[in-house]
Chain A
Amino acid sequence: MSVLLRTEGVHKSYGGVQALEECTVQIDEGTIAGLIGPNGSGKTTLFNVITGYAKADAGEVYLSDRKITNSAPDKVFASGIGRTFQLTRIFPSLTVMENMLVPCRGTRAADRKRAMEQLEFVGIAGYHAALAGTLSYGQRKLLELAYVLVADPAIILLDEPAGGVNLSLVNNIADRIRELNAAGKTFLIVEHNMEFVMGLCDQVTVLDSGTVVATGPPDIVRTDRRVLDAYLGEDIGEAEDNPDSVEGP
């Protein structure tokens, strides 16, 4: 299986805070990869560096061996990386269909048809004429996923897709991701919902203080001592005494 996306020794600091330090991650083509870690561990910063929203101080980012380090967001998108945001970012004064057409090559009938197919896929086609600003939070999540999908990127980075949405919608989103992955789409997902990550991902990478502390299949990662340390501090014994304190499957 070939590596689709990889970061090599990425460093990023904000003022005196080291957000990423020697961060090396690689995502295989056709997989669903998870990126987890406590708050402030650098997950979203890594997303920002990969997608051009933040500039790396050092290190490289490659997409299929093509260097895309510090490329502008529009160029990163054109190269084949689509992303969603932790706090959903749609275009509220545009209609749902217009939102879908923003990443398209045009606004012709063929583009509209493709956009409608994606809206049907995520289940909000009925709202295509509504202003996006009138959608509920969960619907916005689906819209954001749909307009990333319409551009057919090689890899999709999802930042907390299950954050702030109810359980049935979480399952709906997970089902859509599985379907797309079965069709060959690659995903990198940042998520705090451990059940969601562990049930969905083929491989999980754990970040702590901007550094990768563990990488591997979910079953291995969730028992990794360094992961428990990262989430619960040094006192593993306490965690073992109180297993409910760790979200798990």
Chain B
Amino acid sequence: MTSEARRARLTAGARWSALAILAAAALLFPVVFSNPVVTNYGVFALIFVTAASAWNIFSGFSGYISLGQAVFFGSGAYAVGIAARDWHVTGTAVFGLLPLAAAVGAAIAVPFGLVALRVRRHTFIVITIAVFFIFQLMAFNFSFTGGSSGLPAPFLPWQAATYNDPFYYIALACAVGIITLAWLIRRARFGLHLRAIRDDEDRARGLGVRAMRVKLAAFTLSGAVTGLIGGVWFLYLTQVEPQTGFDPLFDLSIVLMAFLGGLGTVAGPVLGALIIEPGQLYLTVRFTNGYYGEILLGALFLVVVLFVPRGIIPTGGEWIRKLTTRGRSALPSAAPAEVAPELRDPASSGPRGGVG
């Protein structure tokens, strides 16, 4: 076995071992930390892992930064609330409405995407913000949404000491599902096309990529998952109001989570959510003035964009690679025999520099 193959095998082994440890830790978390205050952190962290990963499979992979993801989140929450109220769904049967939350998220994403995805960059961002405010205003003003009072969730007759545990495992299932989905997408042709669109959409179209179709599919998938987790969040909090369901800070938070961890990577939004959401909750509990947390969130956003613009995962990966290669380039350092001599000659490198 060559040293490279041995190293690859070791890396794969280490990866699977780390994954197994993480899975065990996630499963045992409510058992080890049975205090509801602690499991509450876990539930919110997993809700945001799901939301940030769902945002990432569209915005992170395609480069279209959406600031209107709360549209799906709030709509999912309201869909469950309205359906439970109007169809008189009570008790644990209310969890059967979660697929409806996903369907509503997807159904909203299609017309939303058909309008917003015709434009790019800052114009796209502005449209997503505009749609977000339209939805928030609708929630405030329509009677079926309960107006400014919002909607209560059906009562769940569970013990207070273990009330959080079922929500923890539901949120964990959602998080594992979206992480697996993101991993599969990134490896598939669909993900490749999304990343090609991020680099150069026009060029991708010229190579046969049906850009609108690909973007819309990712946007719809992202909307469905965000709607679903919005439904879970509503049942956990037992209430939704226009300013909490359609919260601009929700959008800011999930974008920051993805940026902090690593935009467009699978692990990045997960890591970002696991750092930021418990941190935010802690600050809210620690300081009676809730605005401290928001000020710190804004400051953290600035620090991330200025000093770790690529996020922890890509930057950390680069540092590790530099350490393991002891400063040598990890890219192919010498051209193989079949490469034409001029490609090996540094002098022949163009204005942007060569590989070797």
Contact with B along A72-84 (1 / 0, CB 8 A): 1110111000110
Cβ contacts under 8 Å, A147 to chain B = 207
Given contacts A72-B205, A73-B205, A74-B205, whether A136 and B339 have CB atoms under 8 Å apart is no
Partner of B343, one of A74, A103, A104, A124: A124
Asked if B206 is at the interface (CB within 8 A of a chain A CB), the reply is yes
Task: Tell me which residues across on chain B come within 8 A of A151, comparing CB atoms.
Answer: 207-208
Q: Are B196 and A94 in contact (CB under 8 A)?
A: yes
- CB pair A139–B211 under 8 Å, yes or no, is no
Give the tally of cross-chain contacts (CB within 8 A).
Answer: 137
User: In the complex, what's the smallest C-beta–C-beta distance from A108 to chain B, in angstroms?
Assistant: 9
Pairwise interchain contact B192-A102, C-beta atoms closer than 8 A: yes
* Neighbouring B residues of A91 by C-beta, 8 Å: 195-196, 199-200, 203-204
CB-CB under 8 A from B208, the residues of chain A are 74, 77-78, 103, 151
Chain B residues within 8 Å of A104, by CB: 189
A129 to B192, CA, bound (A): 15
Hey, which chain B residues are within 8 Å of A134, CB to CB? Answer: 331, 353-355
Most chain A CB within a 10 A radius of its CB, from B189, B208, B332, B351: B208
Instruction: Say yes or no for A12: interface residue by CB 8 A criterion.
Output: no
CA distance A165 to B340 in the complex (A): 14
Q: Which of B200, B343, B354 has the most CB of A within 10 A?
A: B343
Whether B210 sits at the interface, judged by CB under 8 Å, is yes
Chain A residues whose C-beta falls within 8 Å of the C-beta of B88 in the assembled complex: none
Given A102-B193, A136-B348, A137-B351, A169:B342 Cβ within 8 A: yes
Whole-angstrom CA separation of A166 from B189 in the bound complex? 35
Chain B CB within 8 A of A242 CB:
no
B335 at the A/B interface (Cβ < 8 Å)? yes
Cross-chain contact A136 with B355 (CB below 8 angstroms): yes
Q: Which residue of B lies closest to A120 (CB)?
A: B338
Query: Are A106 and B189 also in contact (CB < 8 A) when A73-B205, A73-B206, A77-B208 are?
Result: yes
Complex alpha-carbon distance, A74 and B200, angstroms:
14
B188 at the interface (CB under 8 A from A): yes
Measured between beta carbons, the chain B residues less than 8 angstroms from A125 are 336, 338-339
A169–B196 CB distance below 8 A:
no
**Shortest CB distance B259–A (Å):** 16
Q: Mark A136-168, 1 if CB is under 8 A from B, else 0.
A: 111110100001100100000000000011101
Docked complex Cα distance between A126 and B206 (Å): 26
A112 to B342, CA, bound (A): 26
CB of A77 within 8 A of CB of B348, answer: no
CA distance A138 to B345 in the complex (A): 11
Residue A101 CB within 8 A of the other chain: yes
> Do A138 and B331 touch across chains, with their CB atoms under 8 A apart?
no
Which B residue sits closest to A139, measured CB to CB? B343
**Complex formed: what's the CA distance from A148 to B207 in Å?**
7
Say which residue of A130, A131, A137 sits within 8 Å of B349 (CB atoms).
Answer: A137
- A172 within 8 A of partner (CB): yes
B193 pairs with A130, CB closer than 8 A = no
Select one of A77, A131, A136, A139 contacting B206, CB under 8 A. A77
- Answer yes or no: A231 CB below 8 A from chain B CBs: no
Chain B residue numbers with a CB within 8 Å of A142 are 343
Which residues of chain A are near B331, meaning CB under 8 Å? 127, 129-131, 134
Contact with B along A16-53 (1 / 0, CB 8 A): 00000000000000000000000000000000000111
Sampled A-B contacts (9; CB under 8 Å)? A91-B204, A98-B192, A101-B192, A107-B187, A123-B343, A124-B343, A130-B355, A139-B350, A168-B342
Interfacial residues, chain A to chain B (CB-CB below 8 A):
51-53, 72-74, 76-78, 82-83, 85, 89-94, 98, 101-104, 106-107, 120, 123-127, 129-131, 134-140, 142, 147-148, 151, 164-166, 168-169, 172
Nearest first, the 6 A-B pairs at minimum CB distance are A137-B350, A126-B336, A136-B349, A91-B199, A136-B354, A103-B207
4 further A-B contacts with Cβ under 8 Å, apart from A131-B331, A136-B350, are A74-B208, A93-B195, A134-B355, A138-B350
- Taking beta carbons and an 8 Å cutoff, which residues of B are in contact with A? 187-189, 192-193, 195-196, 198-200, 202-211, 331-332, 335-336, 338-343, 348-355
